[in-house]
Amino acid sequence: MKSVIVLMAMLASAASWASCPEYLDTTMRKLHSSEELNFCESFADRPMLIVNTASHCGFTPQFNGLEALHKKYEAQGLVVVGFASNDFRQEAKDEAEAAHVCYKNYGVSFTMMAPSHVKGEQANAVFKALTEQSKAPGWNFNKYLVDSEGRVVQHYGSGTTPESKELRAAIEQLL
């Protein structure tokens, strides 16, 4: 009986991974870590808030609000993922410093990815797809609310804070 339950759980997991959008079937390295993460394996069938971040930007204090969103909505299934990037020339000089800003200065516990490009021809696969579905980030701390099937529900620019009523209402509606 136990083996049947294990097999059913494995099949359910495989089915959800099979329905994961191609652009999320990508593996990337986590910030200041050798650990790699496949988005489909880790986040299949879960809504996400995907954000391009930078360590030395006027919007960097938004890490506090993003962490608050993560803590408030994680139990309901929301995944917050930050993508460190120097595309707007405001990222830390090295990855160790970027990690220090995120983890020590702002207490980030949500998933942060190693620095990569988020705009243009060199954009990583996730941001290429987000751009195709909505628009490219115009600056740091653009937020993409993505449903459990991988579709962009809404794009928010840098000026929309994690505390905004509009963003929180959209998250709650999605959950």
C-alpha 29/C-alpha 106 separation (Å) is: 21
- Residue 102 annotated among the catalytic residues of the structure: no
Closest C-alpha among 39, 19, 21 to residue 29: 39
Q: Are 88 and 58 in contact (CB under 8 A)?
A: no
Do residues 51 and 143 touch, judged by C-beta distance below 8 A? Answer: yes
Report strand pairing: 79-84 vs 111-113: parallel
Instruction: Write a three-state SS string for 93-146.
Output: CCHHHHHHHHHHHCCCCCEEECCCCCCCCCCCHHHHHHHHHCCCCCCCCCEEEE
Closest by CA position to 143, among listed 52, 75, 54: 52
Catalytic residue among 20, 40, 57, 102: 57
- Residues labelled catalytic: 57
